[in-house]
Amino acid sequence: MKKSLMLGILAMSAVTAVFAEEVKVKDAWTRATAPGQDSAMVQAVITSKQAAKLVAVACKDATTAEMHSMVMEGDLMKMRQVEAIELPAGKAVDLGAAGYHLMLLGLKKPLVAGKKTFCEMRVRSDNGKESKVQVSAKVQPLVAEAEHQHMHHH
């Protein structure tokens, strides 16, 4: 009984690890924070080999992390917390271009340019399996534009 239970647990953890490898996160970045600033926005590009949803995020440098959408309502940009972000199979989802970002709230320390902040994303595949993906977001200078958005200016 114990042997079959252990094999079952090992098999489940292997499936989770394999699924985690099927979700890739690249170009994760945020801006350095000004003194007293207690929130920051993180951008990233997420690709899942199978249809899935980003369902939660946590960052070690923040008390809370939320997923937000950004929509124009008239002349105003409105941010709203969302429950999940769809990740279509095989398609890169650039959070910024898709109208999303991650909000880090209650920063525990200032984010310093040149350093990284570490987050964990929870992704749920359409078959219900969940996995955790470790992400390191590079902290960009406060006044500079994101490198990958303004390469054409150089």
For residue 148, pLDDT beyond 70: no
**Domain assignment present for 78:** yes
**Domain assignment present for 151:** no
Indicate the number of domains in the chain. 1
The band of 142, judged by pLDDT with boundaries at 50, 70 and 90, is: confident
* Residue 124: HSE in the Cβ half-sphere, 13 Å Cα cutoff: 11
**Domain assignment present for 21:** yes
- DSSP conformation letters of 79-109: EEE-S-EEE-BT-EEETTTTTEEEEEEEESS
**Domain assignment present for 17:** yes
**Domain assignment present for 28:** yes
**Domain assignment present for 154:** no
Q: How far is CA 74 from the centre of its chain?
A: 28
Find the domain containing 81 and state its range.
2-142
The band of 3, judged by pLDDT with boundaries at 50, 70 and 90, is: low
Lowest mean pLDDT among 55-64, 73-82, 137-146: 137-146
Find the CATH number of the domain harbouring 85: 2.60.40.1890
**Domain assignment present for 153:** no
The residues near 120 (Cβ < 8 Å, ≥ 6 apart) are: 57, 58, 59, 132, 133, 134, 135
pTM value? Answer: 0.77
